[in-house]
Amino acid sequence: MSANTSTAPYYFVPGPSKYPLLAGGALFLFGLGMSTWVNGYAPGPLAVLAGVVSFLAVLYFWFGEAIAESEGGLYGQRVDYSFRWSMGWFIFSEVMFFAAFFGALFYARAIAMPWLADIDHKSVLWPDFLPQWPHAGPGNGVEAFEKMGPFPIPTINTLLLLTSGVTLTISHHALIANDRAKTIFWLAATIVLGAVFMGFQVYEYMHAYQELNLKLSSGIYGSTFFLLTGFHGFHVTMGAIMLTVVLVRLMKGHFTAKQHFAFEGAAWYWHFVDVVWLGLYVVVYWM
């Protein structure tokens, strides 16, 4: 079925919904569970599980309803604009989230490191600190570890993500040309590339822990390395989930050549994740 916008209301306003309240409750469970879990209280993990599962369940129904509205032709041109603006600004807020972590890396390297090694710090606190990146701080509390270089995995991963950007664009063009089979094929290829990327990422973490002795607790280097790559990986996963939903919808026959914002939104997100990776690749692995 295709979205027919000619009958859409001037601006569609959904009726009352219980989902927001339920989702809020789920996040409450999640927050409470996480707080108790990290402090070692037994019911914590259970509450987290309950929170996450119920949150996902609510999202499932919520999005299901939204999709039905969309396919029911209720979303006119204006709603479509709204989605575009909102996705754009949402991605901007994500950029700022990553900026905090990139900022931390920048600060640690360009400001804190030379500071810790200046003459005052040498004479008063840290006589033998060498300001060389990577380091795990002057405190000697960290076991020796090795830096994660750009070869081979990160470079392979870069190629994977870049390719996935291309396949996604091919898919998009196919959708515009109304070639469904081609759209589905290339979108699936994109998701596969994303999954392979994640596989390599997991492998890289294992390599870090087992062979390089590089851990989350390996001082500031480990902290920034794992949080930056970890949050990126999390975002890749989210992007892949979005693309998968789009894929399923494509297979169900949703979207038209003209109106397919969900596809585009997910694609923007994917490109954003791509760009963040390029930043990581240069700043974390090469510099």
Partner 1 sequence: VENSPGGPAVNQLNLHPPVTQIAADIHGLHWMMLIICTVIFVLVFGVMFYSIFKHRRSKGAQSANFHESVTVEIIWTVIPFLIVIGMAIPATKTVVAMKDTSNADLTIKATGYQWKWGYDYLKGEGEGIGFLSALATPRNQIDAQSAEDVKARQENTNYLIEVDNPLVVPVGKKIRIVTTANDVIHAWMVPAFGVKQDAIPGFVRDTWFKAEKVGEYRGQCAELCGKDHAFMPIVVKVVSAEDYTKWVDAKKKELAAQADDPSKTYTVDELKARGEKVYNANCAACHQATGKGVAGAFPALDGDAVVLGEKAKQIDVLLNGQGNGKMPAWKQLNDVELAAVATYTRQAWGNAGKGKDPVVQPADFTAARK
Partner 2 sequence: MTTTAMGHDDHGHDHAHDHPHGLKRWLTATNHKDIGTLYLWFSFVMLLVGGTLALLIRAELFQPGLQIVRPEVFNQLTTMHGLIMVFGAIMPAFVGFANWMIPLQIGASDMAFARMNNFSFWLLPPAASLLVISFFVPGGATAAGWTLYAPLSVQMGMGMDLGIFAMHIMGASSIMGSINIIVTILNMRAPGMTLMKMPMFCWTWLITAYLLIAVMPVLAGAITMVLTDRHFGTSFFNAAGGGDPVMYQHIFWFFGHPEVYIMILPAFGIVSHVVPAFARKQLFGYSSMVYATASIAILSFIVWAHHMFTTGMPVTGQLFFMYATMLIAVPTAVKIFNWLATMWRGSMTFETPMLFAVGFIFVFTMGGFTGLICAMAPIDIQIQDTYYVVAHFHYVLVAGSLFALYCGAYFWLPKWTGFMYNETRGKIHFWGSLISFNITFFPMHFLGLAGMPRRYADYPMQFADFNMLASIGAFGFGLMQVYFLFCVVLPAIKGGEKAPAKPWDGAEGLEWEVPSPAPFHTWETPPTVK
Q: Is 12 in the site for partner 2 (CB under 8 A)?
A: yes
Output Rg (C-alpha) for the chain, integer angstroms. 23
Retrieve residue 207's tokens: 């390599």
Retrieve residue 140's tokens: 């000697």
- Pick one of 159, 216, 278, 282: the residue that binds partner 2 (CB under 8 A): 216
Q: Is 115 in the site for partner 1 (CB under 8 A)?
A: yes
Q: Is 127 in the site for partner 2 (CB under 8 A)?
A: no
Q: Is 124 in the site for partner 1 (CB under 8 A)?
A: yes
CB of 171 to partner 2, least distance (A): 27
Retrieve residue 85's tokens: 């603006």
Residues between 128 and 167 with contacts to partner 2, criterion CB under 8 A: 135-142
CB of 37 to partner 1, least distance (A): 15
Q: Is 84 in the site for partner 1 (CB under 8 A)?
A: no
Q: Of 92 and 133, which CB lies nearer to partner 1 in the complex structure?
A: 133
Q: Would you mind telling me the total number of residues written for the chain in this entry? A: 287
**Cα torsion through 7, 9, 13, 14, rounded to 10:** -20
What distance in Å separates the CA atoms of residue 154 and residue 138, rounded to the nearest whole number?
28
Q: Is 139 in the site for partner 1 (CB under 8 A)?
A: yes
Which of the ranges 112-120, 176-184, 198-206, 253-261 carries the binding residues for partner 1, by CB under 8 A? 112-120
- Pick one of 226, 261, 269, 285: the residue that binds partner 2 (CB under 8 A): 226
Which of the ranges 161-169, 209-217, 234-242, 257-265 carries the binding residues for partner 2, by CB under 8 A? 209-217
CB of 108 to partner 2, least distance (A): 6
User: What residue 120 binds from partner 2, partner 1, none (CB within 5 to 8 A, per partner kind)?
Assistant: partner 1
Q: Is 41 in the site for partner 1 (CB under 8 A)?
A: no
- Pick one of 3, 58, 116, 276: the residue that binds partner 1 (CB under 8 A): 116
In contact, 263 and 251? CB cutoff 8 Å: no
Burial class (CB in 10 A: 0-12, 13-18, 19+), 198: middle
User: What residue 124 binds from partner 1, partner 2, none (CB within 5 to 8 A, per partner kind)?
Assistant: partner 1
Residues between 76 and 95 with contacts to partner 2, criterion CB under 8 A: 78, 81-82, 85-86, 89-90, 92-94
Residues engaged in binding partner 1 (CB under 8 A): 39, 115-116, 120-121, 124-125, 138-139, 141
